[in-house]
Amino acid sequence: MPELEALLDAELSAPVDAAVTRMVDAIRARHRGVSAVLFYGSCLRHRTVSGVLDFYVLVDGYRLSHGSWLEAALGWLLPPNVFYVEVDTEDGRLRAKYAIISARDFGRSARGQRLDCRIWSRFCQPTRLVWARDEAARTAVLRAVRGATLTAVDRMLNWLPGDGPIQSFEPGELWRTAFRETYRAELRGEKAETIDALYAAQSERFDRVTVAALRALEARGKIRLVSSGTVLEVASDPGWRRRARLAWRVRRPLTKARGVLGLIKTPVTFDGWVDYGVWKVERHSGVRIEISERQRRRPFLHAGPILWKLLRQRVLR
C-alpha cells in the first residue's frame, strides 16, 4: 500500500471510545441505506465524549435515508443535511450532530469537484471510520479521505506567499495558512489561536501526511519535491499557482453564500438549532449572546439585530 494510503488507513482504523460506537448505533437505527459513518471534530481531537460528537453519515441515496420527501429534496439540492440526536446511557447523556450525505457526493466533494470546501478541509484532518457496511464501503471511504488530503495540500501550496518556481516552507506554515483560509470561507467565528491549534496539537501527524501527500502529487506530475527535510522545497508552475489563487478569491464568497443557504434549511432537520448555534458561536468566539424567547421561536423574523451585531463585531465574517 502506498505511503499516504497506509497512514490514512491506520488512522481510520484506530479504536474509539465505546460511547462513540453507542452513538453510531443510535444514528444508524434512525436511517436506512447507511454505508459508512465517520467520526471527526473537536471531541475526537480532545479525546472526550462530554461535548457534542460530530459525525458524517454516508448513505446510498437521499430518498432512502430520509423520513420525508422535503428532507430528501433538500439533501439532494444542498448536501449535507444536519441532524441532532441525544442518547441516555448509564454514564450520562450523549449528544451528537451528524451530517447525512450520499457516498457519491462525499467522494466528489472530497476530491474538490464541488464548490463547497467543507468536506476536504475537514477530512484532511484526523478522522475515524467507526462503521462500514462492507469492504467496498470501507475502500470508498479511504479513497475519499485520500482525495480530501491531496485536494487540501494541492490548494495549500497556492496560498503560500511567493511567486517563484520553488517554494520553501515548513509543514506548520502550510497547514496554518490552509486552515485560516478555509475557515474564512465559512460562517465560523474561530479565534486565530484556535485555528492554529489544529496543527499544533498534532504536528507530527500533519508533518508525515504532508510529505506523503507531496510525494503522491509528484507521482501525478503536478509538482516536484526538491527537498523533504525540516524545510520542504517544492517546485511547481508559478502561473498555475496565481490562477488557482484567483479562482479561490472567486470561490470563497460563493462558498460562504452556500453556507448561508445551508443555515436557512437547518430548521427542517435540526431540533433546537437556535440554542445550539448560539452555544457554538459563544464557544468558539468567547462572545456572550443574549437571545429572547421571541427570537428563539421566530429567529428569521426577529434575530436580525443579533446577526448585525455579530457581523459588526466580526464574530461572524
Q: pLDDT tens, 57-99?
A: 999 999 999 989 999 999 999 999 999 888 888 878 898 999 9
pLDDT of residue 253: 86
More confident residue, 222 or 187: 222
Q: What average pLDDT does range 164-186 have in this prediction?
A: 92
**Predicted TM-score of the model (pTM):** 0.85
Q: Copy the grid coordinates of residue 138.
A: 470501507
Domains along the chain with CATH numbers = 3-266 (3.30.460.10), 272-312 (no CATH)
Q: What is the pLDDT of residues 285-311, one digit of tens each?
A: 666 666 666 655 555 544 556 555 655
Query: In terms of DSSP bridges, do strands 232-235 and 224-228 run parallel, antiparallel, or are they unpaired?
Result: antiparallel
DSSP per-residue letters across 233-283: EEE--HHHHHHHHHHHHHHHHHHHHHHHHHHHHGGGT-TTHHHHHHHHHHH
Lowest-confidence region among 188-192, 251-255, 276-280, 304-308: 304-308
pLDDT of residue 302: 42
**Average per-residue pLDDT for the chain:** 87
pLDDT of residue 263: 74
Q: What is the pLDDT of residues 8-55, one digit of tens each?
A: 999 999 999 999 999 999 999 999 999 999 999 999 999 999 889 999
pLDDT of residue 295: 57
| pLDDT above 70 for 233 | yes
Taking the C-alpha atoms of residue 3 and residue 211, their distance in angstroms, rounded to an integer, is 9
Q: What is the pLDDT of residues 88-131, one digit of tens each?
A: 888 788 989 999 999 999 999 999 998 888 999 999 999 999 99
How many residues can be counted in the chain?
317
pLDDT of residue 301: 47
**Taken in order 308, 312, 313, 317, is the CA torsion positive or negative?**
positive
pLDDT of residue 269: 75
Structure confidence at residue 265 as a pLDDT band (50, 70, 90): confident
Tell me, what DSSP letter sits at residue 80?
P
Q: What percent of the chain has pLDDT over 70?
A: 84
